[in-house]
Amino acid sequence: MEKTRINHFFSDQVIDFNQSFPDRNAVLQSVANRLTDVGAVKPTFGDAIIAREKTYPTGLKLNDGVGVAIPHTDADQVLHDQIGFVALKKPVTFRQMASATEVVEVSYLFVLALKTAHQQLDMLQKLMGLFSDDNAMAAFQRITTVASFVDFMTERGIE
Amino acid sequence: MTKKLLVICGTGVATSTVVMGKLKTWLEQQGLSKNVKLYQSKVAEEVNHIDDYDIVVSTTLVPDSIKEKVIDGVPLLTGVGADKVYAEIKQDIEDGEAAK
């Protein structure tokens, strides 16, 4: 059996590859359920991020055209820090952050369950740094296993 | 004159935190730290106080009523088009300085 790897933000229980979902809400609810199962969030977290995504979309289209999303909501829905990750087999449509009309075909979701975001500037900056680094994103897109995902994040200081 | 620069996002935690960090570093590099005071909040709390600030950067959609005043801060997150945003902010910081 593969060794369990964790860092402060990622748990192998909430990292998934090659997943298929019919739409945005289905994938959001699925990650929320996983985060609830590991005790990271309240059961209402799923409804909260689905509602939040409608008002404040979090899709980001990166340089090379790949789409990521960073759904999140208020800290009162969160019990402890955790980032849920899903790589999608087929992208789902999100709206672009800060746009009323633009959409992004999202292949990677980082669902941020953050208890104290103000103290996590370093991690958030490194995560965004990854998104804006074309070479790193190319390497990132070749990852297919939980273990190499956690190693990759840890090496980049996203831990 | 010190300019008041507000950074807003939907929750006032995640993305505005990142933009705050980026702007802080950038202001230091530009030698403009003393010219600007940074504030961070969520959009819902600031809609009616927007005129209290000289410059507003948002990573989220804002109501039409304040749209004119707001600079889209998303490029600062992704790096795509960030230079343009920095240039716009710099212009706003320097605006009025000459007239002083």
Q: Which of A55, A60, A128 sits opposite B10 (nearest CB)?
A: A55
A50 touches chain B (CB under 8 A): no
- ∠ CA B66-B70-B74, rounded to 5°: 130
- In CATH terms, the superfamily for domain B3-94 is Response regulator (3.40.50.2300)
Alpha-carbon distance of A92 to B57, in angstroms, equals 28
CB pairs under 8 A between A and B: 80
Res A2 pLDDT > 70: no
* pTM across the whole model: 0.88
Domain boundaries, chain A: 12-117
Res B12 pLDDT > 70: yes
pLDDT band at A1 (very low <50, low <70, confident <90, very high): very low
Alpha-carbon distance of A50 to A92, in angstroms, equals 14
| pLDDT for position A75 | 87
Task: Express each pLDDT in A107-123 by its tens digit.
Answer: 999 999 988 766 677 88
Which helix or strand (DSSP H or E) is residue B40 part of? strand B36-42
Res B15 pLDDT > 50: yes
| pLDDT for position B20 | 92
A80 is catalytic: no
Task: Express each pLDDT in A27-49 by its tens digit.
Answer: 999 999 999 999 999 999 999 99
Alpha-carbon distance of A52 to B52, in angstroms, equals 26
DSSP conformation letters of A88-115: EEEEEEEEBTT-SS-EEEEEEEEEEE-S
Look up tokens 């960073």; give the residue: A70
Alpha-carbon distance of A19 to B37, in angstroms, equals 45
The percent of residues in chain A predicted with pLDDT above 90, rounded, is 79
Q: Which tokens hold the place of B68?
A: 């004119």
Q: Is A22 helix (H, G, I), strand (E, B) or coil?
A: coil
Domain A12-117 falls in which CATH fold? Mannitol-specific EII; Chain A (3.40.930)
Q: Do A121 and B18 lie within an 8 Å CB cutoff?
A: yes
For residue A73, give the chain B residue with the closest CA: B11
User: Which residues have a Cβ under 8 Å from the Cβ of A93 and sit 6 or more positions away?
Assistant: A23, A24, A103, A104, A105, A106
Mean pLDDT over B54-75 rounds to 93
Strand partners, B5: B38, B55
Output the average pLDDT for chain A. Answer: 92
Res B100 pLDDT > 50: no
| pLDDT for position B44 | 87
Mean pLDDT over B35-56 rounds to 93
Single-letter code of the amino acid located at B71: I
pLDDT band at B48 (very low <50, low <70, confident <90, very high): very high
List CB contacts (< 8 A) between B17 and chain A. 117-118, 120-121, 124
The percent of residues in chain B predicted with pLDDT above 70, rounded, is 95
> β-strands A82-95, A103-113: how paired?
antiparallel
Sign of the torsion formed by the C-alpha atoms of A156, A140, A59 and A63: positive
Q: Is A47 helix (H, G, I), strand (E, B) or coil?
A: helix
Q: Do B77 and A96 lie within an 8 Å CB cutoff?
A: no
Domain boundaries, chain B: 3-94
